[in-house]
Chains A and B, each alone.
Chain A
Amino acid sequence: MSDYVLEAQGLSKGFRGFMAVQGVDLNVENGSIHALIGPNGAGKTTCFNLLTKFLQPSAGRIAFEGQDITQLSPAGVARRGMVRSFQISAVFGHMTALENVRIALARARGGNFDFWRGERVLIRFNDRALALLDDVGLSDSAGVPAVALSYGRKRALEIATTLALEPRLMLLDEPTAGMTEADVGRIVALIRKIRAGRTILMVEHNLSVVSGLSDRITVLARGRVLAEGDYASVSANEAVVTAYLGTDHQDV
């Protein structure tokens, strides 16, 4: 078996003639944190949607743990152990934090079509759900509806929900977007904490987050891969500096 948990070759997606993503090759190494960066409109989120099958690629091939998943449904991809988050915080608003995590736990254990049974059967997931909430620092908010949580806490809840599926590959779409400094620090610490034994692919705008966290960086621009490498080599690449930061940028 290869060292890559996720391998994509020649990934392309066109929307009515506009190529949002064009011939992207991406290999995510087992156990690494891999960041996908690039200016707005570079195709980062489209790439995410293609990899997780929320969009069907126009061309290309995706393999997860050595198996071709190009034709799988998005739910099927998730069931294989590749679970994504969303750019806009995705929680179940009118359900409590505990219920949010429980929904994910219940999916992995089955029995979800039982419409004749009481909700009580879900209580057996409470201990595990509370432990996960504790991991992300939300143990005091278990009974709070997700909609009432602050933005930073919603993102933490989202990560707890994702972790509940024990994913082998987590895809985080801009986990720190729109956050205050303090919240960013908290999420970065959280990602560091949860990375043990996991592989993470993340889209990120915040360069300080990328530099501190990621083992490998792929830079996208106009739907193509512009550069790939560790932070030092990528940030020294002139094409990257020009495309990503603009020509007059000084403090990379």
Chain B
Amino acid sequence: MLGFTRAQSAGFVLMVAILLAAPFVAYPIFLMQVMCYALFAMGANLLMGYIGLLSLGQAAFFGMGGYVGGYAVQSLHLTPELGVVLGGLTGAAIGVVFGWLAIRRQTIYFAMITLALAQFVNFFAVQDTGFTGGENGMQNIPRGKLFGMVALGPDLHLYAFTLVIFLAGFLFAHRVIHSPFGQVVKAIRENESRAISLGYKVDQYKWIIFIIAAFLAGIAGALNALVTKIVTLTDVGNVTSAIVVLMVLVGGIGTVFGPLIGAAIVIAMQYYLASFSDWVTVIQGVIFIACVLLFRRGVVGEFAAKLKLSL
């Protein structure tokens, strides 16, 4: 089904079952944030895991998606689904420009360009223009009514909305990987020179993947704005860019379920280790180092390798 292997199909069914049952046992806001960041990380995983590009500026798309999505529902009184769509389009639009500039360089230079471009967005967000709210951020974002009919105020309503978007994003990312386009992307990661020598214009493929990743980040940012009701400078900052890289690595780079697991682990640390206050970042740092040194394939990657499965 949909190009899933049998193990992936089983994993998908299990994932849907858990996500359907979870809001009745765990804190819904936490779960929704996990799904938002999982969407965000799925985009980053397309870049890192499938075409081999490390971006250190993904928060620019996430944050701006949040600001525009939040502005759309708060000030323009648009419905939440439109806010999410606008957030995604905002991410993609910025991705078109940033990607066009960044794909001209490779490896660390690519990463540095994305970081620098994200700083521009950060600079814009810090200005209190009445749009981003500067240091105060954008607050009290209403959740509105889905299609103007169903109020998303109750957590379970918003949860259902978030789950649908998350699953759509999940299937979309999976389709991208298992498309004719995805095959070329895989070939570029395997051997870029050879792909060029076969006549592939690899920059265009990198650009499209970059835009798709930015689109998913924008969707995630707007959805996160509805869930948390605020957008702050953190959402558009470098720490968020680093967090999403951490999620991809901890979950398992280049795996289908890695971004969700990685997001769940990192968000869970932020929620349940909050009592350690500033030490959370230290703990995250230790986990990051342990991950890189000891299990480079990440949780899902190691698990899949043990079972000799593709997950």
Contact = CB atoms under 8 A, between A and B. Distances in A.
A78 B179 contact: no
Contacts of B180: 106, 111-112, 114, 117, 119, 121-122
Nearest to B172: A116
A84 to B, nearest CB: 5
A86 B187 contact: no
Contact of A95 (B2, B178, B187): B187
A116 B193 CA distance: 26
Interface residues of B, number: 29
B243 interface: no
Nearest to A125: B180
Nearest to A119: B178
Contacts of B205: 113
B176 A115 contact: yes
B179 A107 contact: no
Interface stretch (B87-95, B121-129, B194-202, B268-276): B194-202
A165 interface: yes
A119 B198 contact: no
B199 A75 contact: yes
Main secondary structure of the interface of B (DSSP, over half): helix
A1 B181 CA distance: 38
A78 B182 CA distance: 21
A97 interface: no
B201 A118 contact: no
A92 B178 CA distance: 16
Interface in A72-129: 73-76, 78-79, 83-86, 90-95, 99, 102-104, 106-108, 111-119, 121-122
B191 interface: yes
B198 A117 contact: no
B198 A112 contact: no
Contacts of B140: none
B186 interface: yes
Contacts of A74: 196-197
Contacts of A112: 180-181, 184, 200
B186 A92 contact: yes
Contact of B175 (A75, A118, A121, A122): A118
B3 A118 contact: yes
A54 interface: yes
Contact of B183 (A75, A79, A91, A119): A119
B199 A107 contact: yes
Interface in B24-73: none
A186 B187 CA distance: 27
A52 interface: yes
Interface in B158-208: 175-176, 178-184, 186-187, 190-191, 193-202, 204-205, 208
A147 to B, nearest CB: 9
B187 A115 contact: no
Contacts of B223: none
B177 to A, nearest CB: 9
A103 B193 contact: no
B176 A161 contact: no
A161 B208 contact: no
User: Most chain-B CB neighbours within 10 Å: which of A52, A112, A117, A118?
Assistant: A112
A229 to B, nearest CB: 29
B182 A86 contact: no
Given A92-B186, A92-B191, A95-B190, A115 B196 contact: no
B214 interface: no
A93 B181 CA distance: 18
Interface in B228-286: none
A95 B184 CA distance: 11
Contacts of A73: 201
B191 A93 contact: yes
B212 A115 contact: yes
Interface of B: 2-3, 175-176, 178-184, 186-187, 190-191, 193-202, 204-205, 208, 212
Given A91-B191, A115-B208, 12 more contacts: A74-B197, A75-B199, A86-B197, A90-B197, A92-B194, A107-B200, A114-B181, A115-B175, A115-B176, A115-B181, A116-B176, A119-B178
16 contacts: A90-B191, A90-B197, A91-B191, A93-B191, A95-B187, A103-B184, A108-B199, A114-B179, A115-B176, A115-B181, A118-B2, A118-B3, A118-B175, A119-B183, A122-B180, A165-B198
